[in-house]
Structures are given as structure tokens and as C-alpha cells.
Amino acid sequence: MGLLPGVHRFVFEQGQIQLTLCIGDTPQIAKEIDIASHSICVDHIDTWGVKTLARLCKPGTHLQWHNASSDCMAELQSAGFQIDSSKQNACYQPPWQVKSAMRQPPELFKNAIVVGAGLAGSAVAHSLATRGWKVQVLDQGETLGAGASGLPAGILATHVSPDNNVLSRITRDGVRATIQRAQALLDHGLDWSLSSLLEHRYAGKRELPKGHRWPEAGHEWSTQATTPQKLAAGLTEQTAALWHNLAGWLQPQSLVKAQLKHHNIELLTEQKVAQLHAHNQQWQCSDAQGKLIAQAPLLVLANAYDAQALIDSIKPSTQVAPLPHLPATALRGQVSIGPMRLLPPNMQQSLPHFPVNGHGSLICHQQCQEPYWVVGSSFQRNDFDLQTRHEDQVSNMQQWAELMPAWKDEILNQIDLEQTTAWAAIRMALPDRLPAVGAFSHPELKGLTVCTGLGARGISWSVLCGELLAAQVNHEPLPMAASLAKLMAANRFG
């Protein structure tokens, strides 16, 4: 389960029931949630504090407690609670107007356009559709998989850091969300696998937090790899390596297709959006000739690197503030793919059924027409060339040989590159290595949101990002700690 301190979201019944577990000391953990609750039950009011509890209420909220100091009663009354005769129950009925986004009624309209049908766009569309929104998804590609999400298979992996930093915490939230979505929509073993994963720690990188900072629940996520696990991954007993239990591989196209297969979603391919206009509280998407493709009050740009071009196409009526700027870096990457049957026989038999990553990664025993392996990938900054390159195939093999040194000779000398294929695409990354999700603060961009900047972690992050955006527009409790969600907010860019 991996229930470390923090906020954890569990979904049941195709997303219709949500359970949010907030694990941590009171009252600090309450700062990580914003909920307009129907009822609150606490043991001791004093440990929570009356102000904290009032912040989680809406008019009519029923508060029940077991213990309270006598000072609390007066404090409860002045905070807007009406206490009943049992002195263990109260109703929040303040005579003043209660302010908070959570306490506003949700928007009346439920129509949205999502530009981009990759991992990001399909996740947002699915999260909106399950909340009753009618969603049109537009993609310029002839078929799905026109962008980075066309990746044949990728790694679903957590991130560790000695200080358990925000990237590690966000990635674990994301992996938990992806696992739950995959369990609900995909075939285990065919489209994805929670096979666990071995991480080869190069140069001592990726250290676990030490001692009490990495309790048992942390080890349920990531722990030191055992000798048999290392040997199975082609490492030596001495090599530093981690074993990630809640990790595995996933075929992005299977997830994209499954998420888009919802009766509230309409997919329109070969629709390249070139211009955005705001008109009568609707966002209009037009093509390069100015022909209207679609319009809706909520627009989500989930078109990776190209989101900025669409933001720049907007003509604000006033110059009150500059348009948002996403300082994106394009990261070209190429993976190498080959059939298992052409590997040297000892590799065919011994390569592990779990992925191995570190500097580059290997996923093998993938099923398509025949079993295949995927190795990658290269990283080239601000390179937009989608032609595959022989030199990247060579460097992928070198990376693979370093990743799994026990098979170095076979990898470098016995794999025929002519029998491999290649696939390349562009990842979009932001400078703080976090995605950008939600609305901007620009006064003229109401109803325009983004979900982009998934970098090299789209499999691990996209479902969480979709749920976060849907929670924001529906004024629901967030699927993660508020302090982490704030770091991912699109309005950090304008």
C-alpha cells in the first residue's frame, strides 16, 4: 500500500467513489486538503483547532467530537458553530458569507474541448467524462499516437531522493493513480504489468532516505535490491541497485485508447488547431484557414510542446497582462525495438520479466504480433527531427550494455542492428521538471487550462494530472496534497 505521510487518493466504482486518506500530524495535515464536508468527526477538538475545522466546513456541516476543553465551546460559537445540548455535536451556521472555491456551486456548463489525444489529453478527457462532461478531443494526427504517447512501451516508475523531495512525492502519487486506472481499464500482462522494476544506481545516484525518514511504508514502494534480483537483471552482487515494488511497464497507446473509449468523449482526428478565440464565454478552436472546428466554455491544451503556439494565437482585447509563457524544452528521444527470437539464446531465456532502468532502460517479453524488447532512449535537447538515426541505435546498445553488464558482450557483438527498428518523438519538459496543470491567472483567459510538461514521466504522471485538472474545475477535493498541487499549477507561468 505504501501509505507514507501525505494525501493519498483511492478510487472505486469507475471513479464514482473516491477515498482520500490524509496521513500526518494534526492540525498540519489539514492544510493539505480543502474540502467543504457534510460532516466531520474528530476525537479531540483541541488537537485540530476550531479554526482548522471551520475551514473544512460549509453551511450546514455537522461536527461531532468526543473530547473538548471548556474553552473550545466559546471558540466554536464565535467561529460560527451552533452547539446542541449534548455538547458533542454542532452545526456550522455562520451569519456571514463563507468564501472558498470549494464552497461555490460547480459550473452549470459541462462541455469541454481537449486539444491533443496523447496520455495527457486522454487522461483529462476521461476524468472529465466520468464526471458527466461532454468532451471533444481534437488531434492533428491521422491516428492516435502522433506524439510522444506513440511510444511502444514505457516504464511506470517511482522516483527516490535522499530528502524525499517533491518530485519523488508527486511521482508516487502519479504512479498510484496510473496503477488504479490501469487496473480498471487495461489487461494485466498484455497492456501493462505491475511487474516491479530494478533500478541500477549509477555513481551512487538515487539514494533512499535514511533511517526513520524511510519507514516500512516507504520500503513497500522502493527498497534495496536483493542479490538474486540484481543477478536476474544482469548486474553483479556488488552493484548498487534499488527494487521498486509498485512499478512496471505500460503500453501508452493501450491506455490512451481505453481512456478515450467513453460515451461522453468524441474523438476527432486530423484536426490541427491553429487559432484560439474567446467569444461569448466560449473558447473557439479554428484551423489555419480560420474554419471553426469546435467551441466550448472549457478548453484544455494537452498538446505538449505546441501548447505555447496556441496560447500565442490568442488576441486579448486589452494589454492588462502579458500572455502566459511556458518555458518549454523539447527533448527528442529514440528507442530501439527488436524481436526476442533474434536475441542470443541465453538472453532470450534469462532476460527478466521486470524492466530494468538507470541510465536508459530495458523492457522485454512485450507481446504484439511476436514477443519483442524495447531499449532506450536517447535525449537530445531542442532537436525536433523525428527521423530515426543509426547513431542513436548504436548509443542505445551501448547504454543497454552498461545497464546490464553481464550481457555486455552479447549486446554489443551479437545483436544485429539491421534487425531492429526505431521510434522517435519529442518530450516536452519545463525548467522545474514538473508538469503545468490547470488555469492561468491572466484575467482574459477564464476557461482556458493546460495539461502539459510531462517530460519523460507521462506514464507516471498523466492520470494524476487529469484527475487534478478535473478536481479543480469541478471544485472537488484535490487528489493530492495541496502544497504539491500548487507546485504543478499552470499559473506559475502567468
Ligand X SMILES: Cc1cc2nc3c(=O)[nH]c(=O)nc-3n(C[C@H](O)[C@H](O)[C@H](O)COP(=O)(O)OP(=O)(O)OC[C@H]3O[C@@H](n4cnc5c(N)ncnc54)[C@H](O)[C@@H]3O)c2cc1C
Of the pair 151, 232, the CB lying nearest ligand X is at 151
At 329, list the grid cell.
524544452
Binding stretches for ligand X (CB under 6 A):
115-121, 138-141, 146-149, 151, 154-155, 252, 271-273, 302-304, 306, 333-335, 376-377, 425, 427, 452, 454-460
Residue 68 CB neighbours (<10 A)? 20
Give 252 or 297: the residue with its C-beta nearer to ligand X. Answer: 252
Tell me which residue of 36, 22, 6 sits closest to 476, measured CA to CA. Answer: 36
The smaller minimum CB distance to ligand X, of residues 234 and 376, is found at 376
Minimum separation from the CB atom of position 254 to ligand X (A): 13
- State the nearest-atom distance from the C-beta of 337 to ligand X, in Å: 11
User: Which residue number, 216 or 270, has a Cβ lying nearer to ligand X?
Assistant: 270
| Nearer CB in complex with ligand X: 424/485 | 424
C-alpha span between 345 and 62 (Å, rounded): 67
What is the residue-wise DSSP string for 229-295?
Answer: HHHHTT--TTS-EEEESS-EEE-HHHHHHHHH-STTEEEE-S----EEEEETTEEEEE-TT--EEEE
Q: Min. distance of Cβ 293 from ligand X in angstroms?
A: 9
Contact 277, 317 (CB under 8 A): no
From the list 241, 246, 232, the residue with the least C-alpha distance to 8 is 246
Q: Do strands 57-67 and 380-381 pair parallel, antiparallel, or not at all (unpaired)?
A: unpaired
CB of 307 to ligand X, least distance (A): 8
Decide whether 232 or 311 has the Cβ nearer to ligand X: 311
C-alpha–C-alpha distance, residues 105 and 319, integer Å:
31
CB-based contact 194:353 (threshold 8 Å): no
The one-letter amino acid code at 173 reads: D
Amino acid occupying residue 399: Q
| Distance in Å, CB of 455 to ligand X, minimum | 6
Closer of 454 and 485 to ligand X (Cβ): 454
Identify the bridge partners of residue 250 per DSSP, sorted by sequence position: 154, 192
Distances (CA, A) of 101 to 21, 55, 268, 473, 474: 21, 12, 33, 10, 10
**What is the rounded CA–CA span in Å between residue 199 and residue 126?**
31
Q: Reply yes or no: is the peptide bond before residue 327 cis, omega within 30 of 0.
A: no
Q: How many CB atoms sit inside 10 A of residue 140's CB? A: 18
Nearer to ligand X, 58 or 389 (CB): 389
Q: In terms of CB distance, is 209 or 252 closer to ligand X?
A: 252
Burial annotation 334-359 (CB, 10 A radius, 16+ → b, else e): bbbbbbbeebeeebbeebbebbbbbe
Nearer to ligand X, 83 or 330 (CB): 330
Q: Residue 458: which residues within 8 A CB-CB, separation 6 or more?
A: 118, 119, 120, 148, 149, 154, 252, 427
How far apart are CB 281 and ligand X at their closest, in Å?
A: 22
Least Å distance between CB 209 and ligand X?
23
CB of 271 to ligand X, least distance (A): 6
CA-to-CA distance for 435 and 119, rounded, in angstroms? 13
Provide, rounded to whole angstroms, the least separation between the CB of residue 230 and ligand X.
Answer: 21
C-alpha cell at 315: 488576441
Find the shortest distance in angstroms from Cβ 141 to ligand X: 4
CB of 78 to ligand X, least distance (A): 49
State the Cα–Cα distance between residues 223 and 218, nearest whole angstrom: 8
Nearer to ligand X, 154 or 297 (CB): 154
